[in-house]
Amino acid sequence: MNNLRNKVQLIGNLGADPEIKLFDSGKKNARLSLATKDSYNNAKGDKVEQTHWHNLILWGKTAEIAEKYLHKGSELAIEGKITYRSYDDKNGEKKYITEIVVSDIVMLGKKQ
């Protein structure tokens, strides 16, 4: 049951090509922006569609797979955990970021 405490599963499409960063230690990092769509009927009965954007972080082999195979528009399923971090911007204001650290990806859709 401990694995269910902070677990996220999403299916969506990438909004841009992965941003890859290689660290001095040799570790690779990939940042992705994933769009998921949701719809509901409002009080008038009209269908309302919403797009939600999620910041994804991939490390190691998962980042290498993203670099090699993923591009803007790719459809994928991910599993990971939500993380939160903050930083001070150039004006000294504290900014908060919510990200999903991805542990597994499955590429969906047509083969490119």
Q: What is the per-residue pLDDT across 36-83, written as a single tens digit (0 to 9) for each?
A: 999 999 999 999 999 999 999 999 999 999 999 999 999 999 999 999
Residue range 16-26: average pLDDT? 93
Confidence of residue 16 (pLDDT cuts 50, 70, 90): very high
Please report the pLDDT score of residue 2 as a whole number: 64
Confidence of residue 5 (pLDDT cuts 50, 70, 90): confident
Query: pTM for the whole thing?
Result: 0.83
Q: What are the structural domain ranges in the chain?
A: 2-108
What kind and span of H or E run contains 69?
Answer: helix 60-69
Q: Are strands 47-59 and 75-88 parallel, antiparallel or unpaired?
A: unpaired
Alpha-carbon distance of 98 to 38, in angstroms, equals: 19
Give me the count of residues in the chain.
Answer: 112
Q: Are strands 94-108 and 47-59 parallel, antiparallel or unpaired?
A: parallel
Q: What kind of fold does domain 2-108 have according to CATH?
A: OB fold (Dihydrolipoamide Acetyltransferase, E2P) (2.40.50)
CB-count burial class (<10 Å; 0-12, 13-18, 19+) for 80 = buried
When computed from its CA atoms, the radius of gyration of the chain, rounded to whole angstroms, is 16
